[in-house]
Structure 1
């Protein structure tokens, strides 16, 4: 049984997953605090938690509140995300399992909460795979098709919908094969921007773009 988080990490970088499996994977308190914002959208819109926003949101409280209002207007299921049927749900499918931050009712759809920054459009590829994994697991549990998932970026007041398409499902299958095939350190990425912020860069020994520039390579 594969973990949602392993599929997400393997899509980003298989070598990162290799090192992550050997490290403490406890979620830091600051990450949990940001994720909790996803359960306080109503409070934010009412202006009840500006002091907390100042330390967690990527925008000043007034700008954050305006961004969240735009998200509420664009997202057809924003009300359901504010009051989900369940939260922090362990989903177990045929091939993978993991925690969905929220599960919506009517129709059942999972939502995943990321502490990071969203791309300009859509979701990052690792998050696309993460969303497919959650949708597949929920569909397996409920024995019904689940055709959409959500990824929330609460620090930025952004919610993105993820349709479970054939292309995304194929990427999910590739990630499964990658995870199943890891039995030693996978090859390093070469001169990838991904390595700049990776917490395992020193352990991995990869030469980052910034280091290559300093060395004139």
Structure 2
């Protein structure tokens, strides 16, 4: 009788999408929690209405990454979205989702009714994906669309958005969250959102064939990891990696071991 493989945390998938070798070192060093300053940036995603009305000097004291005038303009664009009210006042925060293959925290879930009275701890405080449902007081998600908005998981990124779309690690993480929510609710979840609150930008990730293929590829990579993965060919990633100084373990291909490389 076969058993189902253990589910993989969303955060592990995101790291592996960036570089499997980075995930290896993070696991080895037990360094999987988000940095302390992430919480302050994530908190911005729960204060859009207040931030839109702030003066320059007050906004400049917040952890925003663009000038105040540009930030307000970006939020004005977000406010034109049909789901803005749900994003600004999400019914569910820090929801623990467990799907067939992956599990983790969706920082917001919109288009649903919350089940249970308590909200998740102190809110968007960088809760880890490496927990079991209920361990951190995270909200569960009840059935039923809310205010005409379809159920949609939201991932909050503390970084900067690309010119268009989202970076692959957040794209894979968003697809993982949507698949986990779909598994729990037994219905299709066609989109997920990625918020970049330091820039006041919200992007949509659709579960296209391409995006689902990227997710499955990374899932396979994580499940098949054994030993130190090969180095990435995209050397530009190494410049921003916190493990660039320690990433000196050489891997040997079969061709090298046979003297053919």
TM-score by length of 2: 0.75
Query: Does the aligned pair in 1 maintain the 2:52–2:76 contact within 8 Å?
Result: yes
Look up the match of 1:169.
Answer: 212
Q: Where do 5+ consecutive residues of structure 2 fail to align?
A: 1-6, 112-144, 250-261
Alpha-carbon distance in 1 for matches of 2:70, 2:198: 12
Report if the CA contact (8 A) 2:59-2:68 is conserved. no
Q: Find the counterpart in structure 1 of residue 235 from structure 2.
A: 192
Give the Cα separation in 1 of the matches to 2:214 and 2:156.
20
The runs of at least 4 aligned residues of structure 1 exceeding 3 Å deviation read none
3-state DSSP of counterpart to 1:174: helix
Structure 1: segments with no counterpart, 5+ residues: 207-217
Distance 1:30 1:52 in 2: 17
CA RMSD of aligned residues (A): 1.7
SS at match of 1:201: coil
- The CA distance in 2 between the partners of 1:177 and 1:161, in whole Å, is 24
**Paired residues, number:** 205
Q: Deviations over 1:45-76 (max 9, x none)?
A: 12279536534001222321121112222x33
Please state whether the residue corresponding to 2:166 is helix, strand or coil: coil
Does the 8 Å contact 2:56/2:69 carry over to 1?
Answer: no
1:142-165 CA-partner distances (Å, limit 9, x unpaired): 111100100000000000011111
Alpha carbons of structure 1 residues 144 and 71: separation in structure 2 relative to 1, 3 Å: same
Equivalent residue for 2:105, pick from 91, 99, 115: 99
Q: How does 1:25-174 map to 2 (within 5 A)?
A: 25-47=32-54, 51=58, 53-73=60-80, 75-105=81-111, 106=145, 107-174=150-217
Following TM superposition, by how much is the alpha carbon of 1:78 offset from its aligned partner in structure 2, in angstroms? 1.6
